A and B are shown apart, each in its own frame.
Chain A
Amino acid sequence: MSAAIDHRPAFAVDRQRALALVSTLVAPIEAKLEALAKLEAIADADAVLALGILVAEVDPPLRSAIQGTVLRLGGERRFIAELGAADAAVRARAAHALGGLRHFAAVPALIDRLTDPDAVVREQVASALIRLRDPRAESALIHGLRFDPSPDVRSACAQALGELGAADALIAAASTEEDPFTVLLIERSLWRLENRARG
């Protein structure tokens, strides 16, 4: 399938309609899937970008379909490359999309970005790792929880460690964390772990 962008007006209108339909709250799932198929046929790079953002926001039935479309259009390669972009907003967007896509091959690149100079990027990376739940990220997340200067990043690291079941790391951090909101989220992660253990 060609990934070339078709700029003919009719295709642009179709693309806009399909994207609006995929993201609208009231369209039936069948209409959304049909719209996705049209987007895939157009193979539009802009559509891949929008779907990469959308994939992290939707529920599983539609998410699986969007994941398939984005992967078939080569979106994951684009987002991994964009993790190294000069613009922090592009890096944050790429991390968000890779989390939504549950693309495990991106985990090493995401771990590298946990030390990004921009706090928003680091939070988006930790958020992506919440979704991926990959044990390879545990030590980097522990480091982020203990030493990251941003409480929002530390909070996201705590949630990701909770998803990994890293109770010991959370308990250790709770005793040294100074931000009361982050402490609350650490306790919340431990509470969820206890509930999960109780079944």
Chain B
Amino acid sequence: MVAAISRAMFVSRLSTGVHLDRMSPELKSALEDAGVTPQHLREIAGKDLVIRGDAELTQLFRKLDQRAEGIKIEGQVTVGGRAFLLLELAAKEPSDLRVDGRLDVAIAIGAGGPERSVHLDAEREVMSGLRARGFTPLGLAKIRAMPGEDRARLGLEDKHLDPSALHFVRDEGEGKQTVVRLSTGGTRALDHSAMVIRAGGTSSRNPEQPATGLRPQLGARDPQKVIEAPAGGSPVLQILDSAMRRGAS
């Protein structure tokens, strides 16, 4: 696979920073394969052990670009093969988003995208993946019949409930839960989620463009927690897996 990524896009996509002490084994291994050693990373990160901000991320980008095997397309700096893979892995590294033991994830499929049948496939694929991961679907009637304290524990009180979204929960043990809101239209489900995975919208099909259709609707939410994914269910599920792994640590 050959893909292009500009320095600005790289810095933007890693705006939450790369935390050296919380880096996943996959990212660590991909960086080492690309010739970027732990020593390089510590030098770039400095004392706080976090690579963030334009200057530090640019240093990391240049380190990777020295080893890039890609081609030039329309004047953009490009990387290919393993280097691009590790950029993807790094972009998917969320910080620890679990609050009071609960990880709230919203999956927005096709917000702003024109192709409905692609979204139906992605919706079905995501649900099949949630089934395989041991999630339980919660219909609105079932949620409304739950005791108040359970609804509060899961963040599913009326004020946080989006009737147009599908809700799923998984008990992680030790008092931890993951709550997934799957939305294929409205944006209310996104308001109360620590992390939004947006798949198949205009922006993810053209990553150089900002997610103009969605971000203004997020109001005061921190846009750093919005992750753009390619269309389709599989990329969404990979990001969800990564978030749950980080949330569990």
Contacts and interface: CB of A to CB of B under 8 A. Distances in A.
A184 to B, nearest CB: 5
B114 A26 contact: no
B125 to A, nearest CB: 9
Contacts of A163: 117, 120
A151 B4 contact: no
Given A25-B207, A131-B117, A57 B137 contact: no
Given A26-B73, A130-B121, A179-B131, 10 more contacts: A20-B2, A24-B2, A57-B118, A57-B232, A58-B115, A60-B115, A151-B131, A156-B124, A184-B137, A185-B127
B120 A26 contact: no
Contacts of A25: 3, 204-207, 230
B238 interface: no
Closest 6 pairs (CB-CB, A-B) = A131-B117, A159-B120, A180-B137, A184-B137, A181-B131, A152-B128
B130 interface: yes
Given A56-B118, A57-B232, A155 B205 contact: no
Interface string A157-175: 0010001000000000000
B123 to A, nearest CB: 8
Interface string B1-31: 0111000000000000000000000000000
A178 interface: no
Interface of A: 20, 24-27, 56-60, 63, 99, 127, 130-131, 151-152, 155-156, 159, 163, 179-181, 183-185, 187-188, 191
A178 to B, nearest CB: 13
B107 to A, nearest CB: 14
Contacts of A59: 113-115, 205
A26 B84 CA distance: 14
B70 to A, nearest CB: 11
Interface residues of B, number: 31
Contacts of A156: 124
22 contacts: A24-B3, A25-B3, A25-B204, A25-B230, A26-B4, A26-B76, A56-B118, A59-B113, A60-B114, A99-B117, A127-B124, A155-B127, A179-B131, A180-B136, A180-B137, A181-B128, A183-B139, A184-B166, A185-B123, A185-B124, A187-B139, A188-B166
A184 B136 CA distance: 11
A130 B120 contact: yes
B158 interface: no
Nearest to A21: B73
Given A24-B3, A27-B73, A184 B127 contact: yes
B120 A184 contact: no
B12 to A, nearest CB: 14
Given A57-B232, A187-B139, A155 B128 contact: yes
Given A59-B114, A152-B128, A184 B139 contact: yes
